[in-house]
Amino acid sequence: MWVVLASVLAARRKQAVIVAVVALLATAALAAAPWYAVRASQDVGIAAVEGASAQQRLITISWRGGFNTDSDADGEAAIRRAREQFRPAGFTGIVSATTTFDLWQPGAKKSSADVVAAAREDACQHLELIDGSCPKAKGEVTVPATLADELGLDVGDQVQLEDNDENRIPVHVTGVYDVSDPSEPYWGDGSLVERGESSSNDSLVMFTAPETLRGLDGVTHTYDLLPGAEAFATIDIDELSETLSSAVAELREQGFTASTTDFQFVIDRITEDRRNVATGVGVGVVVLLLLTWFALSVVVRGAGVQVRADIGWWRLRGAPSGRGWILALGQSIVPLVAGAVLGAGIGLGGGRLLVGDLPSDAGRSALLLALLLVALTLVGGLLAVVAAQLGTLVTPVRDLLRRIPVRRPGWRRSLVDLVLVGLATYGVVQSLVVREGVGGLSALSPVLAGLAVALVTAWAVLPLATWLASQARHSGRLRTTLIASLTARRPETHRMFALVVVGVALVTTAFVGWDTGNRTRWERAALEVGADRVVTVDVDDPARLREAVRSVDPEGTRAMAVIDQQGSTFDPPILAVDSTRLSVVAGWRDGYGGSVERVAAALRPTDVTSVQAKADRLALEAAATNATGDLYLRFHLRTVADAKPVDAIVGPLGTSRQSYAADLAACANGCRLVGVQLLGPKRADVSSGNAADAESVGHLPAPPGTQVELFPASESEPLLPPALVADPTRWRPALGPRELGPAITAGTQKSLRVTMAAVPRGKEVDLSGWAYVADTPAPLPVVAAGWQPDTTAELRVHPLPGAAVPAAIVGNAKLVPRYGAEGVLVDLTYADRLVPFPLQIGVTPQVWLSADAPPSIVDELAKAGLRPLRTESLSERLSSLRSEGTAVTERFQLLVALVGLLLAAGAVLVDAARDQTVRAAEFAALRAQGVKLRDVRAVGYGGVAALVAAGTVVGVGAGLAGAAVARRLSPGFIDGWTVLPPAAMQTSPVLVAAVTTTVVLGTVVVVSGAALLRRTRELP
């Protein structure tokens, strides 16, 4: 008996191979699905932590000495105790201590600055020491470079720190530092590196050894917990949430200040996204399992038709019925089991390699689920085999030997189809109407839409084929008549058409969804990052940033200088961009205010009219016509090559017209005149945080009412030409709302008269002695999105940190790069000219790079004086978005769709082969009756091609309907981001889906048609 079964399998090896391949594909995909879900869940955890803000990642436990206790030693012990009892898995703990002081320099009559003294674990590993060394003992400090420059501090200097009780602590400077990367997770909320809500430019941070702060009152001890992204691949989120909640509650009872509110956002995101992964992959598994059962039922049913005659002759010769069962079932069960076993091995091995190391519980669960899915596949296949052969085994011998099987009414099939269409329609409508709380039904709805279309259109196939055969017969079209007749006579036409439509619909929906999702994620990444790469650099001057970028990229196509201000409660985010290079922005869209050219023209309607020349000496004539003390003039310039500031001071000025000169060696290769400042008498020290103040160059401000007249020294003076001096319209005062600038008028001898204003009584204003060259139009042109300024007041913006300048909205946008629905764009050159002395607070100097900028450009920027701090890239942001549950589901659905298409192709191939002998005999008879060979060939290929072509056309339409449903029901981004709508559906993925299905199913048509014609030629 077993020899006979082996002989039958060998004789019908093509059908056996197809059954085995179908089982192999299905079981391999199903066995790998749990491992795919596990890997996706790991990526979700990592992406959630990496994508969270610094504040969301941070858990801080704090204890304030003098508040919680009267002893700082108790505070130090308390924070040590908190560290010992609270060590959650996946976190790194960092202990620090901070307090505030007034800094006093030797001999000073008042404090020089407000500072924060901080002792933080491993701080020096995250600082860049410009000079000196790290503090290692009590009384040693390292100071920020900005403070060192402002106060003139050097390594080895002695200073004193005064606390709130006026107790002074002597310390000495051991080093000067800069922060390598303020956004590094190590810095927590960023308060120690001038980043974050609690940072302040007025309180600079000096780092010291813990011993310096030990025993002092008012010291705040903190224990920062920073999550490691990789650890969250395998952490049990539910258990972690419970651990954090209980531990924080216990610490609060002990007097600590602690909160996990922000980090709970990360936990909730991971939980929800993993739920999305489980739902999406689970729905895909269900769809693939149902497709596998359906395809196997069609395949084994086709094989069952071929063994009818075998069973009939077997029983006619009196063979035992048990052996008939073995013969009938074995032809399908053997290849089914063989394919399933091999597929399970491939799926389990591939899935395990995909995931890598796993906790034992997770690995065991994935393995058990994979084995369960393989078992379900086998059980479904075995039931399909038994159901297909059961009718054969109980059919009388006379009917088994008939060439044409007895037809039975198909009302059961129609009833089942009607029930399925009703359920599918109900599911889609329920999902579209209710949307919330329907679980996996939303993910299943696109499949249900395709299934409903497939079943409804399948009902029309047989009547349509019958009608078409009749019409073609009457019109004498032989090929059409034969093809339509074969389609109408084929018993499995209804099932095969529905299976093809579902397979093609799944592929179309998956390709469209995958393409739409990818483009939506790319558009979001491009909006949030701004350019292909954004390099944050260390530079203290916007003008120097702009010139350095221009020197590295003179063509203006690869790099753009940007000053990024995040905004505040009252001010919108502002991007000051070099508008001549806006083409660097990634994914430019009309929502940014129009085309690149239009926005650039709006931001910079005219070129700047700089006063610049190459000169190593400045000569002029001046007179202090109204002065109560010594009066000086400060000329502020910028080098043309790299925008470095240059100051020249002349004076004291006499009351009559006299000649003055100043050396300007730095301007030998060219300088631009920025403005002239009236200065009062010299002062003993130089101290100011603002370079625009007179104190920054060692002078007192010029008193109110002071008047100076400027005369050009000669007609050839390049930096102070007569035309500039004689025209007061080419000058302007400071533009800040609190700044009261001098009166700038024409003198009597083609001179320029600058008169300090008198402070109005009862008015709080800042008296300014600056007369700036008016080389930029005012008000400042801005393009705004989502900003609604106060219409009752003068419109002002802060293009750079400092005074707000008058502005005019010249363009309305829907979006601004990096900030989305609210923000303002200004031109960096205009901003720099209107705010010549910006403050270095709350800004992020950046260089935006285009996609074609080479990696070496970062090194070139460093050589130009722009030290890179960190780099954001569109690809990294896109990778993070692709780790979300929605993206994971889209990729798995595409895999399921392709496997489903291959299953449908295998079913069509088996169905075409099952009546190949009968069709070959009919074709041979037609040839004997004089039918031309080309007509026989056309019918041989056309019988399957007609079914496949019709199913493909209908399937593409059904897939588009499913894609439309999926678009409406898509959960979107896990954080609820809706700044941009989902990308519009395009024709390219539809064409790809159509080509893919055409290639796969077309191969089936060619293979089955060629086999049929070859069999026909073998007959006499």
- For 107-124, write each residue's pLDDT tens digit: 766 666 788 888 898 888
Angle of helix 321-355 relative to helix 308-316, nearest 10 degrees, comes to: 150
pTM of the model: 0.83
Structure tokens at 837: 């002395």
Write the Ramachandran bin of 162: left for phi over 0, alpha for psi from -120 to 50, otherwise beta. Answer: beta
Please name the residues in contact with 704: beta carbons below 8 A apart, sequence gap of 6 or more: 756, 757, 758, 759, 767
CB 790 within 8 A of CB 782: no
pLDDT for 405 beyond 70: no
526 SS3 class: helix
- Round the average pLDDT of the chain to a whole number and report it: 82
* % of the chain with per-residue pLDDT over 90: 14
Q: Which residues face 675 on adjacent strands?
A: 636, 772
Q: 422 - beta bridge partners?
A: none
- For 513-524, write each residue's pLDDT tens digit: 999 999 999 999
Q: Cβ distance 576 to 782 under 8 Å? A: no
pLDDT band at 635 (very low <50, low <70, confident <90, very high): very high
Distance in angstroms between the alpha carbons of the first and the last residue of the chain: 33
Mean pLDDT of 876-902: 88
Question: What pLDDT does residue 533 have?
Answer: 92
Tokens representing 26 are 């299905």
CA distances from 545 to 218, 258, 485, 601, 641 (A): 41, 41, 78, 22, 12
**Listed range (37-41, 389-393, 866-870, 911-915) with the worst mean pLDDT:** 389-393
Q: Are 582 and 870 in contact (CB under 8 A)?
A: no
Give ∠ CA 10-14-19 in degrees, rounded to 5.
105
Summarised one tens digit per residue, pLDDT across range 53-99 is: 777 888 888 887 654 444 445 777 888 888 888 888 888 888 888 88
> Helix or strand or coil: residue 553?
coil
On the question of pLDDT at 512 being above 90, the answer is yes
User: What distance lies between CA 11 and its chain's CA centroid?
Assistant: 57
Could you tell me how many residues make up the chain?
1020
Q: Are 525 and 881 in contact (CB under 8 A)?
A: yes
270 Cβ neighbours under 8 A, 6+ residues apart:
44, 45, 48, 232, 237
343-397 pLDDT per residue, tens: 888 888 887 777 766 666 667 788 888 888 888 888 887 887 777 666 565 566 5
Residue 199 pLDDT greater than 70, yes or no: no
User: Can you give the three-state secondary structure of 74-94, one letter per residue?
Assistant: HHHHHHHHHHHHCCCCCEEEE
> If DSSP codes are grouped into helix, strand and coil, which group holds residue 169?
strand
Q: What is the pLDDT of residue 323?
A: 57
Name the phi and psi angles at 683, rounded to 5: -120, 165
Any residues with CB less than 8 A from the CB of 422 and at least 6 apart, and which?
A: none
The CA distance from 184 to 55, in Å, is 12
Predicted pLDDT of residue 955: 92
Q: How far apart are the C-alpha atoms of 674 and 1018, rounded to whole Å?
A: 97
Residue pair 651/634 in contact by the 8 Å Cβ criterion: no
Residue 645: cis peptide before it, omega within 30 degrees of 0: no
827 pLDDT band (50/70/90 cuts)? very high
Q: What is the pLDDT of residues 146-190, one digit of tens each?
A: 788 777 788 888 888 888 777 888 889 999 988 877 777 888 777
Q: Which residues pair with 754 in a beta bridge?
A: 708, 744
Q: What is the pLDDT of residues 726-761, one digit of tens each?
A: 889 889 898 888 888 899 998 877 889 999 888 777
Cβ burial, residue 957 (10 Å; 0-12/13-18/19+): middle
Q: What is the mean pLDDT of residues 280-292?
A: 85
Please report which helix (H) or strand (E) contains residue 205, including its range.
strand 203-208
Q: Give the pLDDT of residue 994.
A: 92
Q: What would the pLDDT profile of 11-23 be if each residue is shown by its tens digit? A: 566 777 777 888 8
Helices (H), 168-320: 210-213, 237-253, 261-306, 308-316
Residue 703 is given by DSSP the state: P
Q: What angle do CA 343, 349, 354 make, to 5 degrees?
A: 120
What residues contact residue 689 under an 8 Å CB cut-off, 6+ apart?
A: 150, 201, 839
- Tell me, what amino acid is at 224? D
Q: Is the pLDDT of residue 406 over 60?
A: no
Per-residue pLDDT tens over the stretch 673-726? 999 999 988 876 655 557 788 888 888 888 888 889 988 777 667 778 888 888
| For the ranges 403-417, 431-445, 689-703, the one whose mean pLDDT is highest | 689-703
Number of other residues whose CB lies within 10 A of the CB of residue 169: 17
Strand partners, 115: 101, 204
Q: How far apart are CA 846 and CA 939, in angstroms?
A: 68
Confidence band of 1011 (pLDDT split at 50, 70, 90)? confident
- Upper half-sphere CA count for residue 879 (Cβ side, 13 Å): 8
Interatomic CA distance for residues 953 and 35, integer angstroms: 35
Q: Which helix (H) or strand (E) holds 100?
A: strand 91-104
pLDDT band at 436 (very low <50, low <70, confident <90, very high): low
Kindly state the average pLDDT of the residues 854-876. 89
DSSP helix/strand/coil, 717? coil
CA distances from 199 to 111, 179, 468, 498 (A): 20, 14, 80, 65
Query: What gap in Å lies between CA 493 and CA 956, rounded to an integer?
Result: 19
CA dist 755 and 389 (Å) reads: 108
Structure token pair of residue 557:
């196509």
Neighbours of 152 (CB within 10 A): 12
pLDDT at 197 over 80: no
Q: At what angle do helices 261-306 and 237-253 cross, to 10 degrees?
A: 170
What per-residue confidence (pLDDT) applies to 70?
46
> Tens digit of pLDDT for each residue in 925-962?
877 777 788 887 888 888 888 888 999 999 999 999 88
pLDDT at position 380 is 83
User: Is the pLDDT reported for residue 330 higher than 90?
Assistant: no
Q: Residue 440 to residues 287, 436, 895, 961, 976: CA-CA distances in angstroms?
A: 12, 11, 18, 19, 19
